[in-house]
Amino acid sequence: MKTAVVLSDTHGNTVFLEKLFPLFRENDYIIHLGDGNRDMSEVFKAFPEKTFVCQGNCDFPTEFSQSEWELEIENCKIFCTHGHRYGVKSGLNGLKQEAMQRGCQVALYGHTHCAEVEKDEDILICNPGNGKRYSVNPSYGYLVVNQGKATFTVVPVLP
């Protein structure tokens, strides 16, 4: 069994990330889905072997971020993207199609700032919400993968 903390849309809120450092230490992976990729510089320095960072539509490139990628954890293929290229604010069909074409069982995305978990066509589609400063509903995601099966939980964060 492997676990991951999944974040998105921190938009400069490094205080949010500092609070999560104990979780980062005890989990197998740390995934940030963009719009705040530079916020992850200290996290990447502390945990370079397990930190994966997407570049969102509000981000500039960094040496440790990519526009999108795939990650395989315990025989489960995961597609990670910010989501803006797939029109996720208007629906998830484009994201679903891309994940299916890549042979992924899970698609992780951000961009909408709204936490969501949906199982459709054998693909688990998850958005951890946002960790931006002054957010009404800040949250992150907790992904568990065990022998090819994935579960995702949205975790609300108290201000």
With a cut of 70, say whether residue 142 has pLDDT above it.
yes
Domain range annotation of the chain: 2-156
Q: Which tokens is 75 given?
A: 């025989």
For 43-67, the pLDDT digits (tens) are 999 999 999 999 999 999 999 999 9
**Max alpha carbon distance in the chain (Å)?**
39
Q: Confidence band (pLDDT; 50, 70, 90) for 159?
A: low
pTM: 0.96
Options 3.60.21.10, 3.40.50.300, 3.40.50.10540, 3.40.50.1820; which CATH number does 2-156 get?
A: 3.60.21.10
The per-residue pLDDT for 52 is 98
Using CA atoms, how far apart are residues 22 and 56, in angstroms rounded to an integer?
Answer: 25
